[in-house]
Chain A
């Protein structure tokens, strides 16, 4: 069964949104889900870029172990 827009938002949020959000229009819920997903992706990209940039300053021989330590 397809998930409802509310459930999709809950999944993106990692928990149930406020009960009153059940009353939001379906395209509103979908739009919130998309905005949150985009914000999370944007933040992850910024962090990855910052950490990768940081690695450029680590001596070449050390990069692999440091990358492992930082989970990159």
Chain B
């Protein structure tokens, strides 16, 4: 997700500085918040310059009637000067002036204006006028500018623009750039379900290349809306979700997909996980790579039990999941999120090398974490994967765990003994933990 937010911020900064996106390629390692902060500073630097001179122009305008100012504004001052003066004249007069300018010229002015300076003016402009300018800007493809105004325009005006703006791709582009993401919940609520479906179908048309924008929107909205939009996509045919997965793979968007899948119902998650593309080892590796980079283990691990056995086996044996740093991150996230019963079953699907690497990483778990592992497994009553891991650990680590074994219930001790017998390791376990024999 951070990648999409950064992309949006780079495009917005490029717009402020009047350069191309490619000219700011060196910002691809920066975080979105820093780029946004810099953009605001740069905008203020540009917009606040020459204020004293512009105040004199604004003061002079008081002497003239509005119709004459409108004429001068359009034919003499031009868009840049009008944009800079707009916030310095009385809001009522400025709004009156906005009513008298041609729509095309008002759109030109809007492109140059800093909405923070004309908040009071915007409030006074009738909805019909805002719709006209909004549609003109959308026609020109000025989505960054439209998005900047979303924070300042009334809900009624936005709703009216959205009703008239039938271009769903434009809506997705605008949503991608909106500054105050919390506003998106309200905006999505203005759209009837048929239109939401149309938007998802549009995103799935890969010739349009809009999945990044659609996924960004689904991530920015509240968890309730995310669930609703995600499930809406999931209820459409498999082609839609396959298209989403293909785009996620091609454009490295898994960090945007996983939180959406995470809030879907179990049935939808299962359906999604059955898609052939998600059984592909390269795709699974991309997902794990993204999850590792963006710390999304808490999104991925709950999905593991719903995967197909072959999918689980491929995941569990990925080379990336043999690196000690990655495994330690997996174990930490599993512990913090209480997901031991979701993770441990993978142990039985791992080859010996993968099991050994996981055991080595698990040796570093704290006593507290081991305690939570035992509690979880005791509740889940499936001991085999844990026993396999424990038997691969160094003896001193197993001795460290002995006090936890002493605290087990007799029933758990019996279950352990059963599993250990099945694995042919009961003697080894009982010689290590004499309390196990006593308990059962």
Contacts and interface: CB of A to CB of B under 8 A. Distances in A.
Q: Do A and B come from one complex?
A: yes
Interface in A40-59: 40, 42-44, 46-47, 50-51, 53-54, 57
Please tell me the size bucket of the interface on B: 20 to 34
Indicate the member of A15, A36, A44, A69 with the most B CB atoms within 10 Å. A36
B18 interface: yes
A57 B72 CA distance: 9
A42 to B, nearest CB: 7
B50 interface: yes
B49 A40 contact: yes
Interface in B23-38: 23-24, 26-27, 29-31, 33-34, 37-38
Contacts of B81: 46-47, 50-51, 54
Indicate the member of B17, B52, B72 with the most A CB atoms within 10 Å. B17
Given A23-B29, A27-B26, A47-B80, A18 B37 contact: yes
Interface residues of A, number: 34
B84 interface: yes
A14 B34 contact: no
Contacts of A47: 50, 53-54, 80-81, 84
Interface stretch (B39-47, B135-143, B158-166, B328-336): B39-47
B400 interface: no
Contacts of A64: none
A18 B37 CA distance: 7
B41 A13 contact: yes
A23 B72 CA distance: 48
Given A17-B41, A20-B31, A39 B16 contact: yes
Given A13-B42, A31-B26, A51 B37 contact: no
Contacts, number: 93
A7 B183 CA distance: 36
Contact of A20 (B34, B54, B57, B76): B34
A35 B53 contact: no
Contacts of A46: 78, 80-81
Contacts of B77: 50, 53-54
B379 interface: no
A34 B63 CA distance: 40
Given A15-B41, A47-B81, A50-B77, A20 B30 contact: yes
Contact of B56 (A21, A28, A42, A69): A69
B250 interface: no
Interface in B66-99: 72, 76-78, 80-81, 84
Contact of A25 (B16, B26, B45, B50): B26
Contacts of A69: 56, 60
A53 B26 contact: no
B112 to A, nearest CB: 9
Contacts of B56: 69-71
A44 B49 contact: yes
B191 interface: no
Contact of B26 (A13, A28, A40, A44): A28
Contacts of A14: 41, 45
Given A43-B80, A47-B50, A18 B26 contact: no
A9 to B, nearest CB: 9
Given A40-B45, A69-B60, A70-B56, A35 B17 contact: yes
Given A28-B26, A36-B42, A47-B81, A42 B34 contact: no
Nearest to A40: B46
Contacts of B45: 12-14, 36, 40
A42 B46 CA distance: 10
B23 A31 contact: yes
A39 B30 contact: no
B423 interface: no
B58 to A, nearest CB: 11
9 nearest A-B pairs in the assembled complex, by CB-CB distance: A28-B26, A50-B81, A18-B34, A71-B53, A46-B80, A20-B34, A35-B17, A50-B78, A18-B37
Interface of B: 16-19, 23-24, 26-27, 29-31, 33-34, 37-38, 41-42, 45-46, 49-50, 52-54, 56-57, 60, 72, 76-78, 80-81, 84
11 contacts: A14-B41, A18-B33, A20-B31, A20-B34, A39-B46, A43-B46, A46-B78, A50-B76, A51-B81, A53-B76, A69-B60
